[in-house]
Chain A
């Protein structure tokens, strides 16, 4: 007794189903192809869309969507944060890094004597935001300026150069201009971060050591959302003490948008599976009608209704599995192209891409199972004497 026969003996329904499928080859191939198309439609659209979404999310995240920006709210007594406030925020957000800054603006006196407005960020240490590309920031940072990569590049500023800046202060008697000269000690690395470019000065230069903006930097947009939530809970219970701003709402909007479009397209793909289901049902119905007497004989020699149903369902599922397997292979290739295109790596499958692929196969097989149900039920319920009377 051969091993093959022993294995076949274990799965007799599969053997019978396989033989029956190869009996009407063209019809079987067409039915499987219809499932294939559905699986490719759902899988490729879903996985490709997931790659696109991922690439968009990544670029949004690079723009600072993982940060939460906090400024004093309408109900806060002072219009600035002091060290105590910053400490309270720090405690609330847990592990996330907290960077307190005071934004401002100054006028740069260029070499030809003209004045040019520049944005200035007063901060304890610029390295909290960006790494240093050139130069170094002294431990006791005073009286010198750190410039962003973009600033240095735009204006051809070199390390060691002295920048002449003019600040304006409002006093009772009018606007007073003060001129400062700062030596450039460091250039920061390039960043795409929102509000990144400009000059960085020590917080002491504000004179009052007060901050009006706090950036909370987190690992992900989800964390950022949680942090924003925690801050609102803690500080804005009854009063609006903080103005909490995060890009996560934007991310959420994008996610819903892309997910919606993706689901819609995958839904369109599902229609092709529906058509495939009709095709499988038709194929099985024809098979059952053609094999009417054969099924009658099976019933006569002792096959129960359930046996007949199972044999025919195995056959339908086999058709679906065949189409789904080939469809999956094609969808994976398409998804890999999308991954390479959007994410730069053909194997960068996101979790939702894998879910779409698995779902497409699952639906493909489920569709054929459901499509096979009626023909199988019909065949099983025909009385053998009726089938055999011809």
Chain B
């Protein structure tokens, strides 16, 4: 697992930078996702906003990375690139060695479904579907309703909502909704879980529950987790904290448990 900004290591090739770290020497092949010199620009009218200014990263199984930084520093932009919701303006993002920019929109949708789970700050549950159906939702169009239901039930029990299967979202508390959303993100057994401020709308206790759940998932299912957060206690739990400032990774220093997991 590595997180680098190209210019943070000067002119040093990124490959060398990655080689410096133990565990990565095994090669990029292990990585779920990898980015090289990733740049993202937004065009608004005549103005060009450079949201990301050349970032390198690699995510290995069961990593737990927290992305922190001031508002507007490019955290969501980065997460979108990791989630194949967007493609970089420059540089390359590759999923298990395949360059994302070679994928069509339909390809990206398919890969996203297979490999990546999303958890959003405002949950985005579908109000017309029960908790169970919300969890099933990403697989509803697959012709495997029985299997899907079993898996959804297992996941909901796992997040502690075994007794809320038939509740509609408006009958659930914020923390319960977020747990439903996490269960939903896991329905396709993703290798990578992306969360944009998953605890932002939750109190500390509920947030801690979510973190405990993350830990379990990493330990038991090797899910890698990348989360954007403003909450210090979430960042403390992470293996590595990426401090994004104005589209560039600052040397964080506060990396709590580097190398503690997987990498």
Q: Interface residues, chain A, CB within 8 Å of chain B? A: 1, 5-6, 8-10, 12-13, 16, 19-20, 22-23, 293-294, 296-305, 307, 383-385, 388-389
Contact = CB atoms under 8 A, between A and B. Distances in A.
A193 B185 CA distance: 82
19 contacts: A6-B145, A8-B145, A9-B146, A23-B127, A293-B124, A294-B124, A297-B124, A298-B137, A302-B112, A302-B113, A303-B138, A303-B141, A304-B106, A304-B109, A304-B110, A305-B105, A383-B85, A388-B120, A388-B124
A183 to B, nearest CB: 89
Nearest to A388: B120
A230 B174 CA distance: 86
Task: Name which of B127, B140, B149 has the most chain A CB atoms within 10 A of its CB.
Answer: B140
A22 B128 CA distance: 9
Give the contact-size bracket for chain B. Answer: 20 to 34
Nearest to A381: B105
B3 to A, nearest CB: 22
Given A5-B149, A19-B128, A385-B86, A301 B118 contact: yes
Query: 8 shortest A-B CB distances, which residue pairs?
Result: A9-B145, A302-B113, A19-B128, A301-B138, A12-B140, A297-B124, A385-B85, A304-B109
Contacts of A19: 128-129
B128 to A, nearest CB: 4
Interface in B188-234: 188
B118 A13 contact: no
B115 to A, nearest CB: 10
Nearest to A21: B128
A28 to B, nearest CB: 12
A1 B110 contact: no
B141 A300 contact: no
A22 B141 CA distance: 21
A293 B85 CA distance: 14
Contacts of A303: 109, 138, 141
A78 to B, nearest CB: 83
Interface in B122-137: 124, 126-129, 137
A270 B148 CA distance: 45
A3 to B, nearest CB: 11
B184 interface: yes
Interface in B79-129: 80, 83, 85-86, 105-106, 109-110, 112-114, 117-118, 120, 124, 126-129
A12 B118 contact: no
A100 B124 CA distance: 88
A304 B110 CA distance: 8
Given A10-B143, A384-B85, A301 B128 contact: no
B85 A300 contact: yes
A297 B145 contact: no
A388 B80 CA distance: 11
Contacts of B109: 299, 302-305
A383 B138 CA distance: 17
Interface in B30-72: none
Given A10-B143, A384-B85, A301 B184 contact: yes
B146 A300 contact: no
Contact of A302 (B129, B144, B149, B188): B188
Task: Name which of A19, A23, A300, A389 has the most chain B CB atoms within 10 A of its CB.
Answer: A300
Contacts of B112: 300-302
A384 to B, nearest CB: 6
A384 B83 CA distance: 11
Given A19-B129, A302-B114, A305-B109, 5 more contacts: A6-B146, A9-B146, A10-B143, A23-B128, A388-B120
Nearest to B150: A1
Contacts of A6: 145-146
Contacts of B129: 16, 19
Contact of B149 (A1, A16, A22, A389): A1
A298 B138 CA distance: 7
Contacts of B148: 9
A34 to B, nearest CB: 23
Contacts of B185: 301
B141 A12 contact: yes
Nearest to A310: B141
B146 A20 contact: no
A300 B185 CA distance: 10
Given A302-B110, A302-B188, A307 B149 contact: no
Contacts of B110: 302, 304
A296 B86 CA distance: 13
Contacts of B137: 298, 301
A285 to B, nearest CB: 19
Interface string B165-193: 00000000000000000001100100000
A302 B138 contact: yes
Contacts of B149: 1, 5, 9
B87 to A, nearest CB: 11
A389 B188 CA distance: 24
Nearest to B124: A297
Contacts of B140: 12, 16
Nearest to B139: A302
A300 B82 CA distance: 12
A124 to B, nearest CB: 77
A217 B118 CA distance: 81
B136 to A, nearest CB: 9
Contacts of B145: 1, 5-6, 8-10, 12
A9 B83 CA distance: 28
